[in-house]
């Protein structure tokens, strides 16, 4: 923190007047902006004022590649890592990359609005939600932020696009067409004729079909 003119990371100072406090706050913010522009300060030194995109690149991504951000016993494969980087590049960083961890963590409504909009346009939203939450969990673990205030709110955001696609799925897509059904019947008959299907299994097939049972239910008869 010496780069910001601080002797320790717990910055606490009392000012005589509100005007002096405001001036000191502005000067401190200007120093942060200056160091960011000059790339002369690390994400760790910035703490919660680190940009989301910098924390992702400097901290989270390395831990993710090592398998430290999830409960899986094995680290992700190269293909999975590439897919994850693409997901951040195309979806997550455009939403949150330019904001600091503190800002996002303290503005839950802003984050949820962004995530809700993404859930309406991207079917595999649960993966995005998981990664965003992982970023803030890691920021909390490494004490960039005091706590992950977004976790509970993120869980409430539903996978709107995916659920909508399920609802829109027509009943006809769930069943065989007449042509497909006749082809299936013919294949069963051919299997019986050439000996690849026993008469018992043939009987069970038709019993299951006419009773509209599950196969296990028919076998239990």
| Domain shared by 65 and 149, yes or no | yes
pLDDT for position 14: 66
| Domain shared by 156 and 192, yes or no | no
Q: Say which residue the tokens 């300060």 belong to.
A: 41
pLDDT for position 3: 46
pLDDT for position 197: 77
**Distance from C-alpha of 119 to C-alpha of 164, rounded to nearest angstrom:** 10
DSSP, collapsed to helix, strand or coil, labels residue 137 as helix
pLDDT for position 1: 45
| Domain shared by 196 and 87, yes or no | no
| Domain shared by 54 and 134, yes or no | yes
Total structural domains within the chain:
3
| Domain shared by 145 and 183, yes or no | no
Q: What is the pTM of this model?
A: 0.58
205, 188 Cβ separation under 8 angstroms: yes
140, 146 Cβ separation under 8 angstroms: yes
List all residues 6 or more positions away from 60 whose beta carbon is below 8 Å from its beta carbon.
69, 134, 135, 138
Residue range(s) defining the domain that contains residue 20: 1-41
**Distance from C-alpha of 176 to C-alpha of 221, rounded to nearest angstrom:** 26
| Domain shared by 180 and 161, yes or no | no
Q: What is the CATH number of the domain that holds 82?
A: 1.10.150
The CA-based angle 100-106-109, given to 5 degrees, is 110
Instruction: Return the structure tokens found at 219.
Output: 């076998």
> Nearest Cα to 48, choosing from 10, 97, 100, 110?
100
Q: What DSSP character marks residue 98?
A: T
pLDDT for position 89: 96
| Domain shared by 86 and 56, yes or no | yes
| Domain shared by 161 and 193, yes or no | no
**Distance from C-alpha of 124 to C-alpha of 115, rounded to nearest angstrom:** 12
| Domain shared by 138 and 94, yes or no | yes
| Domain shared by 83 and 152, yes or no | yes
> Burial, 29: exposed, middle or buried (Cβ in 10 Å; 0-12, 13-18, 19+)?
exposed
| Domain shared by 37 and 57, yes or no | no
Q: What DSSP character marks residue 141?
A: H
The ranges of the chain with pLDDT < 70 are: 1-15, 30-46, 165, 167-176, 209-221
Instruction: Return the structure tokens found at 213.
Output: 């049972």
> Nearest Cα to 65, choosing from 52, 53, 81, 44?
81
| Domain shared by 143 and 102, yes or no | yes
DSSP, collapsed to helix, strand or coil, labels residue 100 as strand
pLDDT for position 54: 93
């Amino acid at each position: 923190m010496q780069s910001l003119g601080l002797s320790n990371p717990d910055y606490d100072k009392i000012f005589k007047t509100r005007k002096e406090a405001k001036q000191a706050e502005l000067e401190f913010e200007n120093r942060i902006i200056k160091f960011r522009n000059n790339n002369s300060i690390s994400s760790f030194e910035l703490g919660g004022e680190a940009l989301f995109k910098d924390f992702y690149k400097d901290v989270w991504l390395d831990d993710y590649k090592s398998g430290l951000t999830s409960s899986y016993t094995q680290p992700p494969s190269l293909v999975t890592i590439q897919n994850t980087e693409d997901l951040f590049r195309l979806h997550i960083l455009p939403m949150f990359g330019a904001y600091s961890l503190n800002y996002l963590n303290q503005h839950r409504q802003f984050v949820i609005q962004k995530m809700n909009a993404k859930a309406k346009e991207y079917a595999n939203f649960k993966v995005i939600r998981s990664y965003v939450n992982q970023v803030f969990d890691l920021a909390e673990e490494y004490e960039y932020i005091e706590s992950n205030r977004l976790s509970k709110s993120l869980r409430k955001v539903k996978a709107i696009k995916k659920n909508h696609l399920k609802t829109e799925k027509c009943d006809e897509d769930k069943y065989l067409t007449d042509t497909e059904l006749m082809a299936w019947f013919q294949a069963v008959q051919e299997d019986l004729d050439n000996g690849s299907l026993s008469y018992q299994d043939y009987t069970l097939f038709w019993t299951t079909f006419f009773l509209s049972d599950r196969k296990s239910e028919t076998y239990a008869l």
